[in-house]
A and B are shown apart, each in its own frame.
Chain A
Amino acid sequence: MFEYTSLITLIALAAILAYSFYAVLLAGQLSLAQLGLASLAVFTSSLVVPDDPLFGFIPPLVVGIVFGMLVGMIAAFILGLPLMRLRGVFLAIATLAFAEMVRIFLINQSWTNGAQGLSYPKLVGPGIAWSALVIVAFGFWRLSGSRLGRAFDAIREDELAATSMGINVARHRMLSFVIAGAISGLYGVLLGYFTRFADPNEFSFTAAVDGLVTAVVGGVVFFIGPVLGGLFLTVLPELQRTFGVEASWIRPLISGVLLLVVILFIPGGLAGLIPRRKSASKLITDPTLMPSLPGLPKRGTPLVSLRGLSKSYGGVTAVRVVDLDLGAGEVLGLIGPNGAGKTTLVNMVTGLTFQSAGTGEVLGNALTGRTKAHALAQAGVARTFQQIKLFGRLSALENVLVGSYRISRGTLLRRLIFLPSARRDERQTVAMASAQLARVGLADKAATPAGDLSYGDQRRLEIARALAAHPTLLVLDEPAAGMNRVEAGRLAALIRSLGTDGIGILVIEHNVRMMLETCDRIIVLNFGEVIASGAPADIARDPAVLEAYLGSDATASDEAVTRLAVQDLTATARLAETSRPRPEEKQ
């Protein structure tokens, strides 16, 4: 009987350890510091935990748990300060080095009794361990689907895209790291007061690998994963013992083979086998549920003003002394041959790149070396990317929901106590996202993973995601690439209607015909310099533009072709002038 209660407790402890890995994996990070944090927590708690209830009513174990979690969080925070800029395997190895340093440090201290270890009173049984596990699991259950949970999803899938949605990636990564620290501290204290013993060498690399394996085998896509992983990996050796598998090498062999099978053939981990309802696949089309949005600036309000902006990489000047102004409700086109510096310019406007010279102001924020892309996004800049950056594994609707990060409020804390206002907020966010999906014509594909959409659909989904932020300034980098004529035509109509709504739009595009039909004003870049700027009709007649597009030889050697091209451009321009109502006239 004793053996079973101990087994049951060990399952809970393994699952709690796995949650400390789950917390970082959720945000796409791999940390191996958890065991170091856990051992710091359990050894320092031995210094403060009283024998009798504190103030006569707080049980010693509660003191230990709270203290241990605090130690874990604080240590994780301090460790995170220098390490959070590392990624992938570098972060894993740096955190592993930290855990090993803690282990060696503790072994060499007298207050920890060195490698002999410390004894603890037995305060933890299956009841307490499982209660702790349920609380942790509950937290992660409520996290998924909250605004914070979606931010973690976004960071895991694509950090750059998450930044451009206004998510402070550094802060969120640190947050997930500190959460992992708290759970590690909890694990350490529970383990010490369950096994009645702690030895620094128990908190080794092997133990960290076990925790990671438990988390990955359980699956990191669904909050129940760590529990399943803990169950699987704790019960497996016991089952073998029950079935009389005794040879000491057979057990690790079977465990190894099963682990290999799970990781190779069940990609989502054990939790991936559980059929579940997709939380975010249904649209909400009820217009009364739309959130009340702040109004956009008055038409013509200056949004972007660049003065003498330049960017050089080493000896190459990508953008040279560019002046640019964009007002609310204006559609400004940026055209130019490949390599003209268009994307570099746009990256400076959205805070991803810092200019080498010149000044710029975007939505009242001066562009400086300290301008953060997520801060500009919070101020109202939304963008799409030349190389599509969607969250490939999330559904189309979930992608757009991340876009609403800027205009929604955090819901996790309210979700934890099931406040109805959290649900209302979430339904409003879904309604907002649904409206954007419908606007770009993807309403029927809401549940499709973004990565499975066609190229043109992905372009439109990126626009919907940007629109869900209710932007003041929208930057589109080659939105029509890969679209056919009909699709491009629809896109042009959409862009014009967004301008009519009052959004300032900066659009890069190679489809000159579409640009002439769509934009209020066009700036032409070549070799980083502005070679022309003005109304579409003037641009189409500008000899410098024609030369940039057709080459200087074209005029001399093949006049007929040039004339044809000019005719084509000017004809389109005339068409644009006559067929398109100017926004000013409409007002």
Chain B
Amino acid sequence: MQQLMDGIFLGSIYALFAVGYTLVFGVLDRLNLAHAAVFSAGALVGIEVVTRSGLSIWLAVPIVMVVGALLGLIIERVAFRPLNGRHDAHFAGLISSIALGAIIIALLQARYGPDTTRFPPEVFPKKRFEFLGATVSLLQVLILIISVGLVVLLTWLVAKSKLGRGMRTIAENPHAASVLGINVNRVTSVTFAISSALGAAAGVLFTLNVNTAQLGIGHAVELKGLAVIIVGGLGSLPGALVGGVVLGLAEVYAVNYVGSSWRDMVAFGLLFLILVVRPQGLFGARKKREV
């Protein structure tokens, strides 16, 4: 039972990170590899806000999300928009986002140094409860609620709101979308901002959970995030949540049964298997090519 709980909590953090990935992929059909840098930035900026100004974590998270959103706008403007209309936009977008991610990490290093930092211990109440025979912390419950809440909110947003309609139209055909009077650049920017705000928030929650942060944490989650969005189905928001939980559970059980040195084998083995058997993922739709 404890393992089940731990797996779900771990998975919900993966999901929160992966939702940002999948949102951008779903709309733009491109992977934003600077997302991991945003995750690191969220963690480090969050720690600074809390330690320096003594703000409560409840205020720090929204501030971090604003910072993340700004980073998202920059990423879109610098690394992706200039590539519009280029035949190699797919490869080039990967590389330019890697480059911008490296720049963000270098700037973080300039400000925060390479050392490990953490939140002050009193920042979050260490309340624990017993639940169905397992011990869960308030933080874990909170992470779960936030992840599920955000996925539900985003799914609603994409399905129902005007912004979401714009996103889906652009995903279908950006050119047609602009003909229909949708401001493609603005919708894309907003998508990046939302995606990065979530990525930064995930950074804070992840750091709270493991109680340590350094420059490379985004990198560690990056590959997991890729696994999650593939398992769930590229571009599918509920898929990211389910994929995250599946991966979290798989890892927790793997550590228990095959040992921690093989833990990542489970994630990548799962990823590989899904891609071979069902490339569209659990919730993704397969695109057909036309003649």
Contact = CB atoms under 8 A, between A and B. Distances in A.
Contacts of A264: 82-83, 92, 96
Give the residue among B31, B226, B271, B275 with the most A Cβ atoms within 10 A: B275
A213 B98 contact: yes
Interface in A49-99: 82-83, 86, 88-90, 93-94, 96-98
Contacts, number: 125
A256 B106 CA distance: 9
Contact of A255 (B78, B96, B100, B102): B102
B179 interface: no
B210 interface: no
Contact of A267 (B86, B227, B291): B86
A86 B279 contact: yes
B87 A260 contact: no
Secondary structure of the B contact surface, majority rule: helix
A259 B86 contact: no
A101 B223 contact: no
| Residue picked from A30, A88, A249, A250, most chain B C-beta under 10 Å | A249
A407 interface: no
Contacts of B91: 25, 30, 216
B268 A97 contact: yes
Contact of B264 (A89, A94, A100, A387): A100
Given A250-B106, A263-B92, A263-B95, A385 B261 contact: no
Interface in B45-94: 78-79, 82-83, 86-88, 90-92, 94
Given A90-B275, A213-B98, A216-B95, A253 B106 contact: yes
Contacts of A263: 92, 95-96, 99
B154 to A, nearest CB: 21
A260 B110 contact: no
A108 B102 contact: no
Interface residues of B, number: 48
Interface in B256-290: 261-262, 264-265, 268-269, 271-272, 275-276, 279, 289-290
3 A-B pairs closest in CB distance: A253-B106, A256-B102, A256-B103
28 contacts: A30-B91, A83-B276, A94-B271, A94-B276, A97-B268, A97-B272, A100-B264, A101-B265, A104-B262, A160-B289, A205-B223, A213-B98, A216-B95, A250-B106, A252-B106, A253-B107, A256-B99, A256-B100, A257-B99, A259-B99, A259-B102, A260-B99, A263-B92, A263-B99, A264-B83, A264-B92, A343-B291, A392-B87
Given A104-B268, A260-B96, A267-B88, 20 more contacts: A83-B275, A89-B25, A93-B275, A97-B271, A100-B268, A101-B265, A101-B269, A108-B261, A108-B262, A205-B222, A205-B223, A216-B95, A249-B109, A250-B106, A252-B109, A256-B102, A260-B100, A264-B96, A267-B86, A343-B291
Interface of A: 25, 30, 82-83, 86, 88-90, 93-94, 96-98, 100-101, 104-105, 107-108, 160, 205-206, 209, 212-213, 216-217, 247-253, 255-257, 259-260, 263-264, 267, 343, 347, 352, 385-387, 392-393
